[in-house]
Amino acid sequence: MGQPYTESEIRRRFPGATIRGGTMPRRTADASPRKRRHKYNAQAVTIDGIRFDSKREAAHYELLKAQQREGGVKWFALKPVFVIEGGRYIPDFIVQYTYRIEIQDVKGFKTALYRRAKKQMRERYGIDVVEI
């Protein structure tokens, strides 16, 4: 815990404040606001000027780029939008391999909302979402 404010500091910082008995507020070592943590402890990463929600998603992007250079992946796109009942679903990648197209979603935690969207993708579009 930091040192308490002196009376002169309080008068300077808070003009017009009345100082009464009791404890004075304490100074903190770092007054800057804390960085908020992601709900699932994911750390955002930027690669090639693209912001990814997690290190795992960024690593999968790098893997797809390498596979594309080698010829295993014809093309891929980030964050395609699909209209589903009750809104829209935005998976992480859509990937064209030599003979198939996959919708890929990098998941660390499967929420109820994700499970519902995955089911609706199968029912509405006949597409199975691949979890990475």
Print pLDDT tens along the chain (132 aa): 456 666 677 777 767 665 555 555 555 555 556 666 666 778 899 999 999 999 999 999 999 999 999 999 999 999 999 999 989 999 999 999 988 999 999 998 899 999 999 999 999 999 999 999
Report the predicted TM-score, pTM, of the whole model to 2 decimal places. 0.69
Residue matched to tokens 């690593």: 59
Residue 51: beta bridge partners?
46
Residues 41-75: pLDDT tens digits? Answer: 788 999 999 999 999 999 999 999 999 999 999 99
CB atoms within 10 A of CB 55: 13
